[in-house]
Amino acid sequence: MGNVRERPAVGLADILVGASLLAIISIAIAWAAHAHPYTAESGRIALTWWHLPLDAAYSWLRMLAAYIISLIFTLIYAYLAAFNPRAEKILLPLLDMLQSIPVLSFLPVVLLAFVALFPGSRIGVNLASIVLIFTGQVWNMVFSVYHGFITIPRDLRESALSLNLSPWQRFRTMELPYAMVGLVWNSMMSWAGGWFFLMAAEMFSLGNRSYQLRGLGSYLQTAANQGRWGAELAGLTALVLVIVLMDQLIWRPLLAWADKFKMEMVEGADRPRSTVLRILRRSLILEWLGRTLWIPLTEWSDRIFSQTLPDIRKSGALNSVAGLLRWLAVAFVVVVAVTALEGALRLLGHLSLAGLEVVVLATLTTLGRVLAALAISVIWTVPVGVFIGLNRKWAARLTPVSQIAASVPATALFPGLVAVLIHMRGGLNVASILLMVLGTQWYILFNVIAGASAIPEDLREATRMFRLTRIKTWTTLILPAIAPFLITGLITAAGGAWNASIVAEYVSFHNHVYTTFGIGSIIARTSQDHSFSVLLLATGILALTVVAINRLIWRRLYDKAVERYSLS
């Protein structure tokens, strides 16, 4: 199927987009260089248990803010990319790159930039954490909604056109509903990813300065720092509780609700159910709200937007004011980009060859750790995942447990684990691999479970009938069948591992900084001692490496696996 449009490995647009990204990063760094020392709330996280609900609420609100921004951004970006051919040319490669860059490596830069924006106030740090969560969670949402928009069946599209629905009505009744299932799933994943970043972003120390925000993340870190394991446990319990509540009260009802947007014409056998949704649907209040609020609102929006929403599908010309404004905006962006790029190049001009060598070596070292982490994850998750996937009974029992285990962000466990692992042989060098495994194993496990449970019963019966040995069964049936799923899991896991490197290679604990050689620690260290040329170089090379590996290895492997081993 030609759902995903094929593009060459590297195109002109990629280079353009890459250059502008470099420019933007360097603007952020230049801004951060002006950062004023920030002194507010440091080290004053109270570890009393009755503060936990409030801490959890703070963290949750930050997540919510980031999610709302993500949602708005997603809808606009995906709509433009899907329906404006000119915008698509730029937005697509940009999306592709942004989603493969490890966001956590920008944490120091983003943090410093926002602290500089609001000197001496906690707004900056708060905004930084929100923006960071946003940049971590938005891309998969955009991608799924974009994918939904462009795969709307032609007949549906044409029926909307032939009924003369306005662009807003089309969006409301066709495009958004069609993309809804993907949006809900990806929102769930994005929240999980968001917790990961939030835990790391709430408390971050750069050298002798430490930035703290009240929240679960800083609570956990403080507890670990002070060695108060009771408090650490209480914090983790609160986190798990929040996650489980979210799952029961929001995600499950949403998933069950979104089931009606599936494009299937036969009722699926096991559709998601939710008691909460059933109760809501039967409640009179909701019905009343629908009648008195929702219907008038749609009527009103139809009338308002039908008149004002410009039809961006027809790319207009210069002859309108809008066109002129757009060209001005483009010109402005070009000027800024060129200036920034020039600055970036000047900054890179300060670099010595030795510096470059160190950064490349560090990248390779971290690459080694990422691969080791993936290998360890595969070794334990493939047998376990296949076992769970092939045994319906066990799957029913283990899936909820593993889902909860997986939803606990690895960064929340980091402080506690570091305390244990730091004294191991090999120190952080080895410990950081384990920390990465912690963050990545779940992606692989869930994909393997999905792959194994998708193996048709008749194929398994055939292997039994021919009395294939256990090894033969694995090589002829199980491994090929799970291959596409395993690779999908590996791709996501690799992204997670790169992200984790920044918090795993540079750990401050008990007022002491532990580091090990690697690209993550270089980024963390250089951003604290203001050697911005190395920081820019390191971030650039890291991004380049990840994008290159994604393009050259993962995507090809995936295409091959899908073509060869797909069971449908």
Partner 1 sequence: MASPIYRRGDRKSDSLVRLLGVTKTYKQPDNYNIRVLDDINLEIRPGEFIALLGPSGSGKSTLLRIITGLSTPSYGTVLYRGQPIEGPNPHATMVFQSFALYPWLTVQQNVELGLVAKGVLPQQRRQRAIELIDVIGLNGYEDAFPKELSGGMRQRVGFARALAVDPELLCMDEPFSALDFLTAENLRSELLDLWLESRIPTRAILMVTHGIEEAVYMADRIVILSKNPARIVADLPNLLPFPRNRKSTEFVQMVDQVYKIVTGWDEEDEDDLDTAELASPSQGGEARPRLRPIPYGHISMLSGLLELVSDRGGHDDLYRLGAELLLEVDDLLPVTETAELFHLAEVREGDLFITELGQSFVEQDINERKAIIRDQLKDIPLFRMITRVLASKANHAMNKEFFNDILEEHFSLEEAEHQLMTAINWGRYADIFHYDTDTEQLYLDEDQTGDPIPAETQDS
Q: Judge whether 433 and 497 are in contact, CB under 8 Å.
A: no
Which string of DSSP letters, residue by residue, matches 480-496? HHHHHHHHHHHHHHHHH
The rounded distance, in Å, linking the Cα atoms of 211 and 122 is: 9
Q: Is 420 a binder of partner 1 (CB under 8 A)?
A: no
Instruction: Tell me how many degrees the CA angle 273-277-283 measures, rounded to the nearest 5.
Output: 140
CB contact set of 123 (below 8 Å; sequence gap of 6+): none
User: Shortest distance, CB of residue 474 to partner 1, whole angstroms?
Assistant: 21
* Between 170 and 369, CB nearer to partner 1: 170
Q: Is 174 a binder of partner 1 (CB under 8 A)?
A: yes
Q: How far is CA 529 from the centre of its chain?
A: 28
Q: Is 267 a binder of partner 1 (CB under 8 A)?
A: yes
Q: Judge whether 431 and 500 are in contact, CB under 8 Å.
A: no
For the chain, the residue count is 568
The span of 24-32, 226-234, 300-308, 407-415 binding partner 1 (CB under 8 A) equals 300-308
The number of helices, as runs of H, and strands, as runs of E, in the chain is: 25, 4
* Between 166 and 473, CB nearer to partner 1: 166
User: Shortest distance, CB of residue 261 to partner 1, whole angstroms?
Assistant: 5
Tokens read off for 395: 């799957």
Task: Tell me how many residues contact partner 1 (CB under 8 A).
Answer: 31
The rounded distance, in Å, linking the Cα atoms of 315 and 190 is: 32
Q: Is 263 a binder of partner 1 (CB under 8 A)?
A: yes
Q: Using the rule CB under 8 A, which residue among 287, 299, 342, 529 binds partner 1?
A: 299
User: Shortest distance, CB of residue 157 to partner 1, whole angstroms?
Assistant: 9
The rounded distance, in Å, linking the Cα atoms of 174 and 168 is: 10
Alpha helix locations (H) across 422-478? 427-453, 457-465, 470-473
Q: Where are the beta strands (DSSP E) in 372-464?
A: none
Q: What are phi and psi of 510, to 5 degrees?
A: 55, 40
Q: Is 173 a binder of partner 1 (CB under 8 A)?
A: yes
* Between 158 and 461, CB nearer to partner 1: 158
- DSSP-derived letter for residue 350 is T
Q: Which of residues 151-170 bind partner 1 (CB under 8 A)?
A: 153, 155-156, 158-166, 169
HSE toward the beta carbon, residue 13, CA cutoff 13 A: 15
- Percentage helix, strand, coil for the chain under 3-state DSSP, each rounded to 5: 80, 5, 20
* Between 48 and 307, CB nearer to partner 1: 307
Q: Which of residues 329-368 bind partner 1 (CB under 8 A)?
A: none
- DSSP-derived letter for residue 290 is I
The rounded distance, in Å, linking the Cα atoms of 349 and 337 is: 18
Q: Using the rule CB under 8 A, which residue among 264, 270, 457, 458 binds partner 1?
A: 264
* Between 92 and 181, CB nearer to partner 1: 181
Q: Using the rule CB under 8 A, which residue among 16, 71, 84, 177 binds partner 1?
A: 177
User: Strand 512-515 vs strand 506-509: parallel, antiparallel, or unpaired?
Assistant: antiparallel
Tokens read off for 343: 């600055």
Q: Is 317 a binder of partner 1 (CB under 8 A)?
A: no
* Between 392 and 564, CB nearer to partner 1: 564
User: Shortest distance, CB of residue 175 to partner 1, whole angstroms?
Assistant: 11
The span of 75-83, 265-273, 519-527, 531-539 binding partner 1 (CB under 8 A) equals 265-273
Q: Is 458 a binder of partner 1 (CB under 8 A)?
A: no
User: Shortest distance, CB of residue 294 to partner 1, whole angstroms?
Assistant: 12
Tokens read off for 445: 């496990």
Amino acid, single-letter form, for residue 247: D
* Between 84 and 403, CB nearer to partner 1: 84
Q: Using the rule CB under 8 A, which residue among 266, 321, 353, 471 binds partner 1?
A: 266
Q: Judge whether 463 and 477 are in contact, CB under 8 Å.
A: yes
Q: Is 261 a binder of partner 1 (CB under 8 A)?
A: yes
User: Shortest distance, CB of residue 454 to partner 1, whole angstroms?
Assistant: 22
Q: Using the rule CB under 8 A, which residue among 3, 8, 50, 265 binds partner 1?
A: 265
Q: Is 303 a binder of partner 1 (CB under 8 A)?
A: yes
User: Shortest distance, CB of residue 387 to partner 1, whole angstroms?
Assistant: 31
* Between 317 and 471, CB nearer to partner 1: 317
User: Shortest distance, CB of residue 472 to partner 1, whole angstroms?
Assistant: 21
The rounded distance, in Å, linking the Cα atoms of 482 and 447 is: 8
The residues binding partner 1 (CB under 8 A) are 153, 155-156, 158-166, 169, 173-174, 177, 180, 260-267, 295, 299, 302-303, 306, 564
